Structure 1
């Protein structure tokens, strides 16, 4: 399928840090090969741990201060990954368990959040959209939001979910150090340790007919416009 260029990939995540832990290698890989990479972060991460390690509800945990710190870490990580564009929806983190705070992301009507995401899809015109899967209530909500926005706009040719063993495998060995630097930017979350040199995705939507399994999220897609400069 032919599209106006450049190759554009839009990743939708629930919290600051998800872009690095879930898709950091893939984002760095495609940025390095000249694709435009857009990260949409839905919440501010208020219910993450504070820089000093205080957990939500503990002394020393101030949600607004945590949100500001997490946004700074997110920007630093996106710079490390050479993300072209970062978009913040600014919803309140719902937390892992317990009562959801007023305005928590998972309480926002799917149609409302999907409308905002659809506007970004219309603006950036991505051929590929990626989001992440887990049992966290904000992560489940972001999947619903991303699916509706993709179907509503009809613009992306492909939609992928992160997976442990999916239809598509991306070799990230060439950008392993870049992913590691992005993870280190989220110092308040104490993200560390080894990670696999492959990232796996499940293809949830495809209009290209590209055969499976794949090793390229853009398989079956050609663009008329030029890519961005490679690095």
Structure 2
């Protein structure tokens, strides 16, 4: 399937840090190859841990201060991964459990939030959209947003969800150090430990008829525009 412009991948995530923990290797690999990589982060991460380790509701946890620090960590991680463009939707983190705060992502109608995401899809014209799957309520909301934005615009040829063992396997062995560096940028979350040399994805939408299983998110896609400079 032929597309104009450079290879472009748009990754939609709920919270700061998700881009590194769930898709960091894949993003670094395609950025290094010269593809345009766009990260959309939907919430500010107010309910993440504070730099001191204080959790929501504890003394020393100030949601606005946490959000500001998490945004700074996000920018640093995206720089480490070589991300071309970072877009912040600025919704309030809904938290894992309990009452969702006013303005929390889960309180925003899917059609409204997906409309903002669709505008970014129209702007960047990605051939591939990736989002992450988990039972967290913000993550589930983001999946609904991504699916609706993709179907509404009809622009992306493929939509992927992160998976433990999916239809698509991405070798990240050459960018392991880059992913590790991005994870270290999120110091307030104390993200550490070993991770695999592959990331797995489930192909939820495809208009290319590329055969499965595959090892390239852009399988079946050709572009006429040049990629970005490799790094």
2:116 corresponds to: 116
Unaligned 5+ runs, structure 1:
none
1:5 corresponds to: 5
Q: State the SS of the aligned residue for 1:214.
A: coil
Q: In the alignment, does 2:186 pair up with 1:211?
A: no
Report the Cα distance in structure 1 between the residues aligned to 2:225 and 2:185, rounded to whole angstroms.
33
Q: In the alignment, does 2:160 pair up with 1:193?
A: no
1:43 to partner: Cα distance: 0.1
1:107 to partner: Cα distance: 1.1
Report the Cα distance in structure 1 between the residues aligned to 2:144 and 2:216, rounded to whole angstroms.
24
Report the Cα distance in structure 2 between the residues aligned to 1:49 and 1:33, rounded to whole angstroms.
34
1:206-227 deviation line (CA, Å, top 9, x unaligned): 0000000000000000000000
For residues 1-231 of structure 1, what are the structure 2 equivalents within 5 Å?
1-231=1-231
1:130-186 deviation line (CA, Å, top 9, x unaligned): 000000000000000000000000000000000000000000000000000000000
Q: State the SS of the aligned residue for 2:161.
A: strand
Report the Cα distance in structure 2 between the residues aligned to 1:230 and 1:63, rounded to whole angstroms.
38
Unaligned 5+ runs, structure 2:
none
Report the Cα distance in structure 2 between the residues aligned to 1:106 and 1:30, rounded to whole angstroms.
31
Q: How many residues align?
A: 231
Give every structure 1 segment of 4 or more consecutive aligned residues whose post-TM-superposition deviation is greater than 6 Å.
none
1:5 to partner: Cα distance: 1.7
1:123 to partner: Cα distance: 0.2
